[in-house]
Amino acid sequence: MASDVQLYFKVGNLTSLGGPDLNTDSADPLYRPGAINMSVDAYGWRVFKYVKNISNSAVARGETLSYAADGANVMTTTVSNITAGSTTSATTTGLTADDHDGKILFVLDKDATAGAAPEGECSIISDNTATIISLEDNYALSVALAVNDDLEMITNWQVNDAADGDEAWTVAGVVIGNDGFADNNYGWVQIEGPCSVDVTTNAITEGDPIVAGAAIMDAFGTDGHELWCGVALATGSTDEAIPTIPAYLKLMTFENTGGTP
């Protein structure tokens, strides 16, 4: 029973947090990965998301992160021509163990018969090694995967450093914990509301959009609205050791994508 039968799986609710909880940095999840928290503090109304860092380095407070993928402005990692499969697994090569845990698995193409099941179905990845993608047993595909089928693994809470040019829909948020969190660990990012963010030394003007840069937020320049991640709440200084500004993040209600309207 995968998406061919049911379009939801393991339904939960918003997560309740106190201030110290936002500083968590743990190898094992202390909350449901991908969990959302909505809070009000002295800054105002804020929304946080619980994510896993797979950037190959620690991330620090104020850094901007994006969803991990195999290309720019996508949230997918493509697996072409698997070598074996079942209703709950696929065999391939070249994966990094555990980097794809929890992702959505989409069957892009059934090689043997065009359009035949399980093509078009989704399941959830429970675990991965370098060669094996395991799916949730209770959300199995309707028909076994087979040699040369093509898959897409779609990111939902796995993150790495943002890059210049990342469209807002692929930006995951800003690290909120006081000490950040380590590689392969779980922690919280802010996705909506007022937040102090690390920025470039480029001048940023109050009221202007901000966009993703290399693990920072940057001035929007001539960037289109599809890159806008929020609004600068103050004009940025260019002489700080680590430039920061207050901004209003809009990554839960992001701008449109870069496609032609």
What is the total count of domains within the chain?
A: 2
Q: Would you say residue 259 has pLDDT above 90?
A: no
- Cut 0.85: pTM above it: yes
158-161 and 44-53 strand pairing: parallel
Per-residue pLDDT reduced to its tens digit, 106-143: 999 999 888 899 999 999 999 999 999 999 999 999 99
* Residue 2 falls inside a structural domain: no
Give the residue from 156, 150, 131 showing the smallest Cα distance to 52. 156
Terminal Cα-to-Cα distance of the chain (whole angstroms): 36
* Residue 26 falls inside a structural domain: yes
Domain span holding position 59: 19-70+158-250
CA atoms within 13 A on the CB side of 211: 19
Per-residue pLDDT reduced to its tens digit, 138-163: 999 999 999 999 999 999 999 999 99
Assess whether 119 and 183 both reside in one domain. Answer: no
Is residue 5 exposed (0-12), middle (13-18) or buried (19+ Cβ within 10 Å)? Answer: exposed
Tell me, what DSSP letter sits at residue 224? -
Range 170-196 average pLDDT: 97
CATH, residue 58:
2.40.300.10
Cα-based angle 172, 70, 14 (whole degrees, multiple of 5): 30
Assess whether 169 and 134 both reside in one domain. Answer: no
Residue where a domain stops, chosen among 100, 122, 154: 154
Q: How many CB atoms lie within 10 A of CB 126?
A: 17
Alpha-carbon distance of 21 to 15, in angstroms, equals: 11
Give the residue from 87, 42, 59, 45 showing the smallest Cα distance to 192. 45
Per-residue pLDDT reduced to its tens digit, 67-102: 999 999 999 999 999 999 999 999 999 999 999 999
Residue where a domain stops, chosen among 154, 170, 188: 154
Entry field: residues in the chain: 261
Question: Rg (Cα) of the chain, in Å, rounded?
Answer: 19
Range 31-54 average pLDDT: 97
Assess whether 109 and 163 both reside in one domain. Answer: no
CATH, residue 131:
2.40.30
* Residue 242 falls inside a structural domain: yes
Assess whether 172 and 193 both reside in one domain. Answer: yes
Range 44-59 average pLDDT: 97
Assess whether 163 and 195 both reside in one domain. Answer: yes
Per DSSP, the three-state class of 23 is helix
The pLDDT, as a whole number, for residue 261 is 44
Range 30-51 average pLDDT: 97
- Give the chain's mean pLDDT: 94
